[in-house]
Chains A and B, each alone.
Chain A
Amino acid sequence: MSTSRLSARPGEVIDRSQTVRFTWNGRSLSGYQGDTIGSALLANDVRIISRSMKYHRPRSYMSMDYWDPNALLQVGDEPNVRSAHRQLAEGMEVSAQNVWPSVDRDIKAANGLVGRFLTAGFYYKTFIHPQRLWPLYEKVLATFAPGGSIDLDTPHGNYDKRYAHPDVVVAGGGPSGMAAAIAAAEAGAKVMLVEHEYGLGGHLRWGSEADQAVVREMSQRLVDLGVEVLVDSTVTGRYDDNWISIAQRSHPGVIERLIKARAKVLVVAAGLIERPYVFSGNDRPGVMLSGGVRRLVNMYGVRPGSRAVVLAGNESGDQAAADLESAGVSVVEVVDARNGGGITAAEGSSTGVERVVLADGSSREADLLVTAVGWTAPTSLLNMSGDRPVYDASAARFFPADPPETVLATGGMIGDGSLEELIAHGQSTGQLAASRAAVTAYRLQAATARASAVQGPEPAWPSDNRAGLEHRHHPELYRSSTHGMVDFSEDVSSKDLVAAAAEGFDSVELLKRFTTATMGPSQGKLETVNTVAVLAEARDETIAEVGTTVWRPPFAPISLGGLAGRIFEPVRRSPLQDWHEAHGAVPLVAGAWIRPDHYGNAAQEVRNTRQNVGIIDVSPLGKLDLQGPDVPQLLNLLYTNKWSKLPVGGVRYGLMCADDGVVMDDGVTGRLSENRYLMTTTSSGAGTVWEWAENWLQTERPSWQVDVTPVTGAYASINVAGPKSRELIGRLAPELDLDPDNFKYMQVRTATVAGVANCIVWRIGFTGELSYEVHVPAGYALHLWLQLLEQGDDLGVGPFGIEAQRIMRLEKGHFIVGQDTDGLTKAPSTGMTPLIKMDKEDFVGKPELAWELETSDPDVLKRRPAVVALQTLDPQVVPEEASQLVRGTTTEIIGRITSSRMSPTLGRSICLGQIEQQYAEAGNIVTVLLTDGRRVEAEVQAHHAHYDPEGSRLRG
């Protein structure tokens, strides 16, 4: 292999016996099992792997972890893969993104030449005027935008979700996190330990052999205790009451699994993220962070360079220098920032660092510059818990302030210590977490109806007696005397920030949004504190005074697939839907329901129903079983009309309004017996009306005795319509008296139909034909349907779908709530004023309807919408629904078409619409503005019904 791969290292995570082949921009390369894409590329001497977003400057790896700002690569059809984190897999096709024609020779790097024009806000200011050129700007900008390419044909992979109810979630599997998980589990808690990286150990993973022995020992203990350990998984968010989202990338066979965990206590042990240093040339390939170098050398056995300068502001720098020497890298200088040493520039060519300029002006030949200038506590999860971290200048970092009592922080985020001290703090945190979780568990169990009885009294809420961790002194090292990159992924330099502050964007939240610093893929994990520090310098204030921005969810990106999970959306099917589909029905999605739109020819279905007999599956019709002595009162309250005198065997239509007088639903209700009614609702309104009825019964009329049971699924509903429907029903229900004098329009009977007992049959007429609607116990629906087809064969029976029904109801002028009415349509506008009974003591919407009906102000009256039937003067023009009605030759809108169809029965187009009352008089000619801009004339009709306005057919 390459010269950069070292001989075996004691703590390496790669398996040299397993070679993994992959390609880089088409070139075949290989790495080892356990490599990340990044370590494998560097092992193959591939250094420049990306180009920066704005200036297209050559970039290489810096931190060798998830947050590495330069490491986004395309892998197969997956863009923006974090290549310093993602493990290498056999056959990966890895390529650079945002480069043209190649990562090594990038023409867009010309931007770098004009970089002084591309200052912060350049895009905002430049591409805003004139607005008409925006489509052009959009195209230009899109080709320059960073990010990989997506393949729209990529199939939805296997993503999944699950819920969890652990006592304690520990975010972070370093020494403190592991210790907390162990201690909590030892105290009896159900624990979930989530680690972002592929292995437990945190910074111990690239530490000494002794460190790694500790990791092995603690890992075994976690297994023995049954702690659920999720590696390569991220706690992405903390929400109210410790609702925790976890993106798990390590579940077998699943690309990403979103775990929604309700934790009683969240332990945040997120460790520390190393901060880059701001100086001239700090984004040059070969400038790395100490942690990145240590990972590379110790975990992957890769030599990051041959001659190194190390800027050491802390012991991580010293350790990096030692690691480099052990790897055969010549460390030409360790510049000790603790004693005032410094650097001002990394100079070199497009391939990387060649010289490092020290603060004293001297320079050193080197191809690697390692900086160790300090740490940032990733307090995201604490931010999401409401905590606002505070800055400690002597320790040169932010610390958590006062998180809620069910969110506990431990480890490096809260202070410094030896390994023993970090573990001890983790242990005491785990114990506290377990004891607090036990109290919460007790409370939840005691308050839950179905839960087991709690044992003993409620334990006291444990107070926090943990010893803290000290804040060790650390020099404040943010920016050298030179300017350099602050946000590497967004190409924002300290110079840009200073300029933006001078322009007035001098609050950190404004500065962030104007310059986009901290808004790139690293989301401020590396850049936020440097941004604040540069702003503080520009404002001549302290970092504490400037304050910091708030980290919001997600902590790390979640894939859209992970958010979607399995592709399962609830769908409702009638017991006849299989039959419909087997007989050519075109499916129509109506809310959650799948329904038959038509069986090939809706017009023919209409004609057959009008001439012979048709059957339609209207099972989605909402159905509520109402029982109790106060049902008539409930109906009187919910509907605008009167129900007290509905006899057993009677059916009545009702219009339902909300308390604002707006129509919310309609349907028929039949009285089956003294105390039992069947109410029907619109298909889409079934759930709403049920909850509506319960609301009135439970909150406003609790003394009424009515039991409401939804029975939509219990009955399949089949409407048998047409002049021969009586004959057909008669054949199937010989015992049912169908004599029109005994079973009249708007009456209900119970009967045995086709041998099925307990069918409910009522005569109603949505289609305008003589029709019987049979509500059959759903398990027998297919039997009845087949019997209707068989027994009605000689009558010409045929199924019809929703489209035919919609045509027929439009011919008949029946409005559909929600289609011909809208959120402002009050009951009188529908023409249903006779059904509004103001002499009732009360009904929902009464006052509004009273005022509506009492209004005599002519200005109000003439503009009130009215539902009317319309016919275009040209009978062949079928206006699209929602076409506007305008006055004369103007564009003054006076209404709109709400329903429109070609009527097979009348051989002409027919419409329903809403129009201002002043134009609603029968015979008025109005203008329909079609969507293609044409204007056609239409005449307002005297009746809603275009067909059989007298209703002689359905009453026959």
Chain B
Amino acid sequence: MLIVPCPHCGPRNSSDLRYVGESHSRPDPNSATPEQWRDYLYMEENPAGWLIETWYCRSGCRRYFKLERHTGSNEFRNPPIPGNKKGTKA
């Protein structure tokens, strides 16, 4: 089982967290085209490499946060920026 570095609690078993998924930004609901909206809803980058993901520290601090994880090695590194970046795309 992975150890996930919760920015509030510290390292926790991944079973203490909920994996929310790739961090996707929500388009403006009033101007998004169906294509943009469904890209946000359903499409995943799924890269072999670094990926920014959202986790929820369900059993711990109950905070949502983003982490950057290498999907090959499961290594974590700090998310470079707190903004809403979709996957590894800039």
Which A positions have Cβ atoms within 8 angstroms of B? Answer: 239-241, 243, 262, 444, 447-451, 659-660, 691, 694-695, 698-700, 841-842, 846-848, 851
Query: With A and B bound together, what is the CA distance between A243 and B54 in angstroms?
Result: 23
CB atoms of A691 and B18 under 8 A apart = yes
CB atoms of A847 and B37 under 8 A apart = yes
Q: A449-B9, A451-B10 in contact; A847/B54 too (CB < 8 A)?
A: no
CB atoms of B64 and A241 under 8 A apart = no
The answer, among B5, B18, B32, B54, for a CB contact under 8 Å with A699, is B54
Q: Which of A241, A842, A846, A847 has the most CB of B within 10 A?
A: A847
CB atoms of B64 and A449 under 8 A apart = no
CB atoms of A842 and B29 under 8 A apart = yes
Q: Which of A239, A444, A699 has the most CB of B within 10 A?
A: A699
Answer yes or no: B34 CB below 8 A from chain A CBs.
yes
19 A-B pairs besides A450-B10, A695-B56, A695-B64 with CB distance below 8 A are: A239-B1, A240-B1, A240-B2, A240-B3, A240-B74, A262-B3, A262-B13, A444-B11, A447-B5, A447-B10, A447-B11, A449-B10, A451-B10, A659-B37, A691-B18, A691-B58, A698-B63, A841-B30, A847-B32
Task: Mark contacts of B59-72 with chain A using CB atoms, 8 A cut-off: 1 yes-contact digit, 0 otherwise.
Answer: 00011100000000
Task: Mark contacts of B1-43 with chain A using CB atoms, 8 A cut-off: 1 yes-contact digit, 0 otherwise.
Answer: 1110100111101000010100000100110101001001100
Query: With A and B bound together, what is the CA distance between A43 and B2 in angstroms?
Result: 49
CB atoms of A842 and B30 under 8 A apart = yes
Residues of B within 8 A of A842 (CB): 29-30
Q: A449-B8, A694-B62 in contact; A846/B2 too (CB < 8 A)?
A: no
Nearest Cβ distance between residue A847 and chain B, in whole angstroms? 5
Query: With A and B bound together, what is the CA distance between A841 and B41 in angstroms?
Result: 20
Residues of A within 8 A of B58 (CB): 691
Nearest Cβ distance between residue B64 and chain A, in whole angstroms? 4
Query: With A and B bound together, what is the CA distance between A444 and B11 in angstroms?
Result: 7
The answer, among A444, A659, A699, for a CB contact under 8 Å with B64, is A699
Q: Which of B34, B64, B74 has the most CB of A within 10 A?
A: B64
Residues of B within 8 A of A659 (CB): 26, 37, 40-41
Residues of A within 8 A of B26 (CB): 659, 700
CB atoms of A660 and B54 under 8 A apart = no
Nearest Cβ distance between residue A836 and chain B, in whole angstroms? 13
A-B contact list, 25 entries, CB within 8 Å = A240-B74, A241-B2, A241-B3, A243-B1, A243-B13, A262-B3, A447-B10, A448-B9, A448-B11, A450-B10, A451-B10, A659-B26, A659-B37, A691-B58, A694-B62, A695-B20, A695-B64, A698-B64, A699-B64, A842-B29, A846-B30, A847-B30, A847-B32, A847-B37, A848-B37
CB atoms of A241 and B10 under 8 A apart = no
Residues of A within 8 A of B37 (CB): 659, 847-848
Residues of B within 8 A of A444 (CB): 10-11
Query: With A and B bound together, what is the CA distance between A806 and B62 in angstroms?
Result: 34
Chain B count of residues within 8 A CB distance of the other chain: 26
Query: With A and B bound together, what is the CA distance between A842 and B2 in angstroms?
Result: 37
Query: With A and B bound together, what is the CA distance between A420 and B54 in angstroms?
Result: 52
Residues of A within 8 A of B2 (CB): 240-241
Query: With A and B bound together, what is the CA distance between A451 and B11 in angstroms?
Result: 11
Nearest Cβ distance between residue A437 and chain B, in whole angstroms? 14
| Chain B contacts with A in 41-55, Cβ cutoff 8 A | 41, 54
Residues of B within 8 A of A691 (CB): 18, 56, 58
Query: With A and B bound together, what is the CA distance between A691 and B74 in angstroms?
Result: 25
Nearest Cβ distance between residue B11 and chain A, in whole angstroms? 6
Residues of A within 8 A of B41 (CB): 659-660
CB atoms of A448 and B20 under 8 A apart = no
The answer, among A239, A243, A448, A847, for a CB contact under 8 Å with B29, is A847
Residues of A within 8 A of B40 (CB): 659
Query: With A and B bound together, what is the CA distance between A239 and B74 in angstroms?
Result: 12
Across the two chains, which residue of chain B brings its CB closest to A448?
Answer: B10
Residues of B within 8 A of A848 (CB): 37
Residues of B within 8 A of A262 (CB): 3, 13
Query: With A and B bound together, what is the CA distance between A851 and B34 in angstroms?
Result: 8
Nearest Cβ distance between residue B24 and chain A, in whole angstroms? 10
Residues of B within 8 A of A698 (CB): 63-64
Across the two chains, which residue of chain A brings its CB closest to B62?
Answer: A694
Across the two chains, which residue of chain A brings its CB closest to B63?
Answer: A698
A-B residue pairs, 9 tightest by C-beta = A448-B10, A243-B1, A447-B10, A241-B3, A698-B64, A240-B2, A846-B29, A847-B29, A847-B37
Query: With A and B bound together, what is the CA distance between A333 and B76 in angstroms?
Result: 61
Query: With A and B bound together, what is the CA distance between A449 and B61 in angstroms?
Result: 10
Across the two chains, which residue of chain A brings its CB closest to B64?
Answer: A698
Query: With A and B bound together, what is the CA distance between A680 and B9 in angstroms?
Result: 30
Residues of A within 8 A of B30 (CB): 841-842, 846-847
Residues of B within 8 A of A846 (CB): 29-30
